[in-house]
């Protein structure tokens, strides 16, 4: 059947259902692809060849009995901060280098329930803290479009794996843009769902009020199919919302005539690369030609989003990562009889520089005498940012913006300048602050590198924003562009 890893989910599903191929054959095709390119890309921390083939065999038995759902027998990668029973979950950190969960995250359990096949765990910035996938404790991931460049972060392994054909799709997490930004930089589709739509149970916490699990795919149809499986209320997650899951695939009718699309002026920054600006503006013109109504809008508190995020998220990180003390689990320094020294050395050696930087930022913001000036004020700004979105969504159905103001940059280009690194997430952070859904879809190339178009909607408007993305995808050729790998 040739290179099966090049097919879309729908094509794979049709072949599996018709028994033209087996899940074992499909899975082996991906494992062969991983062997061919993984040494160059480094998209995985753990590759589960034996587990994948065993799950593929079970999927084939299931299909033979007539049970072939959309994702049955199809191989995927999962970010390495999402718990997988019996498979190491390192969070890209020395602190959890040997941690093997005894349970599955809810999203993994739901995918297992339809017979999906786990290929392995995706490389990532340590504990999800980073924008370039250079903060992994093990090795940086490379962008399949140009191996000298970063794939984006923190779900860089997932984006690179999908773009390079090392997985049919990936499950990532998005705290400040960690699905959408690498999706944009690797030329794939990435969705950050409404906060509470997908269970966070089994997702190792970075910033609990921001984190959200979502899919990374080659096209919008695939994205909708995966969202249908992983969404829904979960009693194990108190932030999971009791809502019925609609058929997101049925929302993809390709018609956006009369849809009102807001263009927020604050997202078109002075520091935006000219190639990105041109591609996004061209995409807006395409949407207009397709019948959408373009409405200039303003989100004035957007300018405070970066500062707001880097107070609130590190504050939550400081609290969440306090559990890694060398006593309960994870790396533990034992060469001392002093408990305080043991804890200090454990955390110093177990965490990387970026994680330690964010813990210190958060601890400072929460400390006595600074709580009101920083954390409390940032929470008030968060409310203002949410209010801005609420006001704008009374005028328009969705917002159109760049996903990232820059294309993928060279490895090491920003590692010594944290503020410059943080600034590349300026277009994605506000969505997490407000808990909104947003999707990134390819909208062109700048200097041969992918540019992402971000579509933002009000809470629980996944069906609408996916249809806008799908309509754009159908009327352009950009989703068909793939990296040429040597």
Q: Cα–Cα distance between 176 and 358 in angstroms, integer? A: 14
155 among known catalytic residues: no
Say if residues 273 and 407 touch (Cβ distance below 8 Å): yes
Q: Cα–Cα distance between 371 and 362 in angstroms, integer? A: 10
154 among known catalytic residues: yes
User: 258: helix, coil or strand?
Assistant: coil
436: closest CA among 444, 448, 428? 428
Q: Cα–Cα distance between 392 and 477 in angstroms, integer? A: 31
Q: Which of 132, 178, 318, 423 is catalytic?
A: 178
Q: Which of 154, 155, 249, 318 is catalytic?
A: 154
Residue holding tokens 């009020």?
Answer: 209
Q: Cα–Cα distance between 46 and 44 in angstroms, integer? A: 6
Transcribe 229-243 into DSSP letters.
HHBS--TT-TT----
Q: Which of 42, 70, 79, 142 is catalytic?
A: 79
39 among known catalytic residues: no
Q: Which two tokens stand for residue 438?
A: 């947003």
Laid out side by side, the sheet with 75-79 consists of 44-47, 117-122, 75-79, 170-173, 213-217, 189-192, 438-446, 449-456, 398-402, 260-264, 293-297
Query: 265 to each of 186, 392, 402, 472, how far by Cα in Å?
Result: 25, 12, 11, 21
Which residues are part of the catalytic machinery?
A: 79, 154, 178
């Amino acid at each position: 059947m040739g290179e099966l890893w090049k097919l879309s989910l729908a094509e794979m599903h049709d072949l599996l259902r018709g028994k033209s191929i087996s899940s074992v054959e499909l899975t082996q095709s991906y494992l062969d692809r991983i062997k061919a390119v993984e040494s160059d890309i480094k998209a995985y921390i753990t590759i589960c060849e034996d587990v994948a083939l065993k799950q593929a065999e079970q999927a084939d038995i299931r299909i033979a009995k007539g049970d072939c759902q959309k994702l049955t027998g199809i191989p995927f990668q999962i970010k390495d901060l999402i718990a997988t029973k019996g498979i190491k979950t390192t969070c890209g950190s020395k602190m959890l280098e040997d941690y093997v969960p005894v349970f599955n995250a809810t999203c993994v359990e739901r995918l297992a329930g339809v017979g999906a096949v786990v290929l392995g765990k995706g490389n990532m910035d340590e504990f999800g803290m980073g924008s370039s996938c250079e903060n992994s404790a093990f090795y940086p991931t490379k962008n399949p479009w140009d191996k000298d460049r970063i794939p984006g972060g923190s779900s860089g392994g997932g984006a690179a794996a999908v773009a390079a054909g090392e997985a049919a799709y990936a499950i990532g997490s998005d705290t400040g843009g960690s699905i959408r930004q690498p999706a944009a930089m690797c030329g794939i589709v990435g969705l950050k769902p409404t906060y509470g739509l997908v269970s966070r149970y089994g997702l190792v916490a970075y910033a609990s009020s921001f984190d959200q699990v979502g899919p990374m795919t080659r096209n919008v149809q695939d994205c909708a199919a995966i969202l249908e499986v992983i969404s829904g209320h979960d009693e194990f997650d108190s932030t999971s919302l009791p809502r019925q899951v609609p058929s997101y695939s049925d929302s993809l009718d390709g018609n956006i005539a009369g849809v009102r699309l807001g263009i927020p002026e604050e997202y078109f920054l002075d520091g935006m690369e000219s190639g990105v600006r041109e591609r996004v503006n061209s995409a807006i013109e395409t949407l207009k030609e397709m019948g959408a109504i373009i409405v200039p809008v303003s989100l004035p508190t957007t300018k405070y989003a970066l500062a707001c995020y880097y107070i609130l998220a590190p504050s939550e990180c400081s609290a969440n990562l306090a559990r890694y003390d060398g006593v309960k689990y994870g790396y533990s320094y034992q060469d001392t009889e002093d408990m305080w020294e043991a804890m200090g050395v454990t955390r110093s050696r177990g965490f990387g520089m970026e994680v330690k930087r964010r813990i210190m930022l958060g601890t400072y913001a929460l400390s006595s005498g600074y709580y009101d000036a920083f954390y409390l004020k940032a929470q008030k700004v968060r409310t203002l940012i949410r209010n801005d979105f609420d006001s704008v969504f009374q005028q328009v159905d969705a917002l159109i913006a760049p996903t990232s103001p820059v294309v993928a940059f060279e490895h090491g280009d920003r590692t010594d300048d944290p503020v410059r690194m943080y600034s590349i997430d300026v277009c994605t952070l506000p969505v997490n602050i407000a808990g909104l859904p947003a999707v990134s879809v390819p909208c062109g190339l700048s200097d041969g590198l992918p540019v992402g178009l971000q579509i933002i909607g009000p809470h629980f408007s996944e069906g609408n924003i996916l249809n806008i993305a799908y309509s754009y995808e159908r009327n352009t050729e950009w989703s068909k562009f793939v990296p040429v790998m040597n």
